[in-house]
Amino acid sequence: IMFDCEDVLSLLKPTNLIANGLCSNKTLCHGHDLNDVNSRLSESIDSLRELSRYNNRRKEFAHEQKGSKYKQEKRYSNALRFYREALVITKGLVGEERHPDIADIHVSMATVFKKKSMYDESMRAFEKALSMYEDAIEDEVCEYDRKRCLIIKSADTLNSIGDIYLQKGELDIALEKYHAALLVTEKSIPESEESDEVKSHWSETLNIHWAETLNNLATVHAEKGNVQESLKIHNLALEMQMKYLGEDNIAVANTLNKIATINFKDRNFVVALKVFRQALKMRRKLLGWNHNSVADVLNNLGLVQLMMNQLDVAATTFSKALDVSCTALGKQDLKTADIYANMGFLAEKQNDVIKAIYNFNKARKIYKINGLADDHECVKFVTRGSSDFAASSVVSFLF
């Protein structure tokens, strides 16, 4: 027979033990006042109940930590299992189905679905979380600082939803979500009566988030072919990041990489080369020489050099990118495959057929290991291996 925890605790109260014939007053109290015993035991029961909640909170935290660890290790099925278990525990703790703490776990699960390219599942989880955040924001009893944190979480979730629409090629909807992310944060703009310290803190927080959203908007404009508008918005984001984060910050380096990428796609190779080098220098300084983000910008730099016909220099750069990618991500990662594909394209430009075939085959093997179908653009690129096709598709391998 399964007993509810509260039923068991209630049954243990002395008055209930006696009433149910499970114990006599004399046996239970040993000469002490019944009300005193009842009061003390009630206090003990409250302490046990609080300890139970504390242990469940610890268990929930441990499950979330394990989920995050498995996500970092790309063991996504294990990550989802622990997140789902954390979800059950959290629902028991908060005593309801819709709560910001539950929304946080849905966001974690949504990011895993997104990593697995399960975009529909990811979208549903993000939208469920967003709905819970919005309900909590509208709750009149929610403290103002708590409400501000929820507003930031709502904006982050809207950005994530926009990212999915961007990846699906639904650019107008992505643009709509990014604009919504900007608008929702306006609700947390510091008020005039607040202290200078509070104003400064929240102004900095908001500007950092606005810069991130502006970068997303700029990416959509670039995809729509609005190059100058995209660069204008990216530069505004860069200005905000440098003001509030400082020049030596990874967010600044990432924005520089985006600006260089747009210049590359616009065939402004001289500017792209300069900005990629700046991004490379910053990422090496901030992340170390063997970080996967360093491999990304080395790959991009190699493509610029290739398109500028600096073939020997590009070969050296791609080789460095490959070494870092294999170290940081592994020899069978998709980004490693993309670098092999670019090296195959370079070998074609150098008229080295044997090396081109070798690199294209290495890339194709990794693509197939990762489950890419024969009609995937990356697989078709390395299978056809023609210079004409490569020249038209080379930007697909920018990171």
Q: What's residue 271's pLDDT?
A: 96
Mean pLDDT of 344-353: 93
Q: Of 52-61, 145-154, 162-171, 384-393, which one has max mean pLDDT?
A: 162-171
Mean pLDDT of 268-279: 96
CA distance linking residue 381 with residue 366, whole number of Å? 13
Band of the pLDDT at 203, cuts 50, 70, 90?
A: confident
Band of the pLDDT at 4, cuts 50, 70, 90?
A: very low
pLDDT at 191 over 80: no
Q: What's residue 331's pLDDT?
A: 94
What does the pLDDT look like over 225-236, one tens digit per residue? 999 999 999 999
Q: What's residue 124's pLDDT?
A: 95
pLDDT at 209 over 80: yes
What does the pLDDT look like over 306-316, one tens digit per residue? 999 999 999 99
CA-derived radius of gyration, the chain: 28
Of 58 and 353, the one with more pLDDT:
353
Q: What's residue 1's pLDDT?
A: 38
Q: Among candidates 251, 304, 313, 319, which has minimal Cα distance to 282?
A: 251
Q: Which residues contact 299 (CB under 8 A, 6 or more apart)?
A: 318, 321, 325, 335, 338, 339, 342, 397, 398, 399
Are 381 and 341 spatial neighbours (Cβ–Cβ below 8 Å)? yes
Q: Among candidates 236, 223, 234, which has minimal Cα distance to 256?
A: 234
Of 260 and 9, the one with more pLDDT:
260
19: number of CA atoms within 13 Å, CB side?
A: 9
Tokens of 191: 């008020």
Of 296 and 200, the one with more pLDDT:
296
Q: What's residue 399's pLDDT?
A: 67
**H-only helix segments in the chain:** 5-11, 14-19, 25-29, 34-72, 76-94, 100-115, 119-138, 144-167, 171-185, 196-223, 227-245, 250-265, 269-287, 292-307, 311-328, 334-349, 353-369, 377-384, 387-393
Tokens of 220: 């959509």
pLDDT at 41 over 70: no
What does the pLDDT look like over 126-164, one tens digit per residue? 999 999 999 888 876 667 778 888 889 999 999 999 999
Q: Is 352 helix (H, G, I), strand (E, B) or coil?
A: coil
What percentage of residues in the chain have a pLDDT greater than 90? 51
Q: Is 289 helix (H, G, I), strand (E, B) or coil?
A: coil
What does the pLDDT look like over 246-262, one tens digit per residue? 989 999 999 999 999 99
| Average pLDDT score over the chain | 83
Count CB neighbours of 195 within 10 A. Answer: 9
Band of the pLDDT at 2, cuts 50, 70, 90?
A: very low
